[in-house]
Amino acid sequence: MKQIRILLADITKIKVDAIVNAANTSLLGGGGVDGAIHRAAGPELLKECTALGGCETGQAKITKGYNLPASYVIHTPGPVWRGGSRNEEALLEGSYLNSLKLAEEYGCKTVAFPSISTGIYHFPLDKASTIALRTIDGFLQNSSIIEVVTVACFDEHTKQAYEQAAQSLNMHVPVEITD
Ligand code: AR6
């Protein structure tokens, strides 16, 4: 049974096949969820990332998960919000879509996302949550590999935005909201 889960969680603690990292184009680590993932995975992650040669905004690259409970980390630089006229919405959709494609290629059945671009990159949460859920829902409907996609919200405010977006959208895959 396919499902989308919205929960309040630290993504570094979730045991899924792949977690997604809201990275930057260098793929060499940073603050926010990126910093937390690198700390929890250990130094081997940076070593593998260094060999990847960066990643364009909206694209995605995969590494192993090292000390994380997740087997893989999919790194995607989301767009920096610059007012909305720099293709930010399509680039954010690309981050979700290309991460899901990569997860599928690696046979991942369970994938967890953070709220990409809504922290340091300042993408408006209402728009970002709508793009995230619409893209995940569309992909999951047509996937024969991915079964469960979790959105790990780091704070209550973010979780509420995703709950609201799920209610406003006409979701095809069942959504479970957990505390
Ligand atoms: N688990 C889940 N979500 C988290 C965690 C965590 N452990 N820690 C933070 N968040 P951000 P961005 C949430 O800033 O906006 C880095 O420096 C956070 O509260 O991590 O895409 C990169 O290297 C927010 O809701 O990512 C880039 O330079 C969400 O994750 C830049 O930040 C995203 O916030 C990327 O900025």
Q: What is the pLDDT of residues 110-127, one digit of tens each?
A: 999 999 999 999 999 999
Q: How far is the CA of 54 from the centre of ligand 1 (A)?
A: 18
**Residue 82 has what pLDDT?**
98
pLDDT tens by residue, 46-76: 999 999 999 999 999 999 999 999 999 999 9
pLDDT at 179 over 90: no
- The number of helices, as runs of H, and strands, as runs of E, in the chain is 5, 7
Q: Is 116 in the pocket of ligand 1 (CB under 6 A)?
A: yes
Whole-angstrom distance between the N-terminal and C-terminal Cα of the chain? Answer: 21
Mean pLDDT of 161-174: 97
Average pLDDT over all residues of the chain = 98
Nearest Cα residue to atom 8 of ligand 1: 33
The pick from 6, 33, 153 for probing ligand 1's pocket by mutation, whose C-beta has the most ligand atoms within 8 angstroms, reads: 33
How far from 124 is each of 19, 81, 83, 178, CA to CA, in Å?
22, 8, 9, 23
Q: Is 24 in the pocket of ligand 1 (CB under 6 A)?
A: yes
Mean pLDDT of 21-25: 98
Q: How far is the CA of 157 from the centre of ligand 1 (A)?
A: 14
**pTM above the 0.85 mark?**
yes
Q: Is 114 in the pocket of ligand 1 (CB under 6 A)?
A: yes
pLDDT tens by residue, 78-119: 999 999 999 999 999 999 999 999 999 999 999 999 999 999
pLDDT tens by residue, 127-160: 999 999 999 999 999 999 999 999 999 999 999 9
| 86: amino acid identity, one letter | R
Active site residue 137: no
